[in-house]
Amino acid sequence: MENSKNWHDKHKETLGFGSRLADSVANGMGSWKFIIIQSVFVLIWMGLNLIAFAYHWDVYPFILLNLVFSTQAAYAAPIIMMSQNRQNERDRVQAQSDYQTNVDAKLEIEALTIKLDIIEIEKLDKIIAMLEEMKMNSSK
């Protein structure tokens, strides 16, 4: 079954823990699920701080919430960039693989064209030989 693996499967096997984690974080943060959960979290945070009677842990303009988002962005940006760099590398490997497939197909098509040309010439030679034979038989 080793031969059935494509370049993508082989590439995935070479990824370390950090690379897999970065890809998972980038996939998670780039999803609607994350946007919805984060939006609900922000609305609850703001709502609780606006209506809290006794204790406002983060009063308007929500400086602690801004700090949380800044920290999240400070870590998320480089992690997402690592994942994008790997995606670029995967795209480069795929493009190289596609190019090699095209080169191999071109060579195979050229070889088939040569074989077909040889078959066509052989057929034409046989037809000419048959016509010459018929001409010789009819002239006798």
Per-residue pLDDT of the chain (140 residues; tens, 9 = 90+): 456 677 667 767 778 888 888 888 888 888 999 999 999 999 998 888 888 766 778 877 889 999 999 999 999 999 899 888 888 988 898 899 899 999 999 999 999 999 999 999 999 999 999 999 998 888 76
pLDDT of the residue at 7? 64
Question: How many whole angstroms separate alpha carbon 140 and alpha carbon 133?
Answer: 11
Name the phi and psi angles at 16, rounded to 5: -85, 180
Question: How many whole angstroms separate alpha carbon 71 and alpha carbon 73?
Answer: 5
Question: How many whole angstroms separate alpha carbon 89 and alpha carbon 86?
Answer: 5
Who's near 28: CB < 8 A, 6+ residues apart? 34
Who's near 62: CB < 8 A, 6+ residues apart? 45, 46, 49
Q: Which pair of structure tokens corresponds to residue 95?
A: 């493009």
pTM here? 0.59
Total Cβ atoms within 10 A of residue 22: 21
